[in-house]
Amino acid sequence: MKNLAVKLSCLAVLAIAPALAHHSFSMFDLEKEITLVGEVKEFQWTNPHIWIQVLVTGEDGKVVEWSIEGSSPNGLARVGWKRTSIKAGDQLAVTINPLRSGEHGGNFVQAKFPDGRILTRRAAEAPVEGAPR
């Protein structure tokens, strides 16, 4: 009987292991932060991570779409976010850790609205120094 309990316990641990898996953040340059100013094309409040698509006009006048990955909706809701916190058409200054590859994407750090509201990824985080005010 004891053997059966051990085997069932091991089986249970193996069964939940995939649910604990998570991707690495090594694709982001966590030592670097850049701030993008643009218009939200789309905000996706989806599991396992939120996504913000931002249209940014470059110095050459061309509009480039940036894909920004954020934390989970559950984690962000705990720090005050709602599925309506960001909407298509919103103007934002978004600070990110850029992709190491140089592609137009990154890891969300914070967003600042023209009215001064700031959204961060964690409750204890202060606004990023040097972010547009």
Banded model confidence at residue 5, pLDDT cuts 50, 70, 90: low
For residues 53-69, average pLDDT: 97
Q: Is 76 helix (H, G, I), strand (E, B) or coil?
A: helix
Mean pLDDT of the chain: 84
CB 95 within 8 A of CB 111: yes
Banded model confidence at residue 27, pLDDT cuts 50, 70, 90: confident
What residue spans of the chain are helical by DSSP H? 2-20, 73-78
DSSP type of residue 106: E
Pick the more confident residue, 7 or 86. Answer: 86
Q: pTM for the full model?
A: 0.76
Residue 120: pLDDT over 90: yes
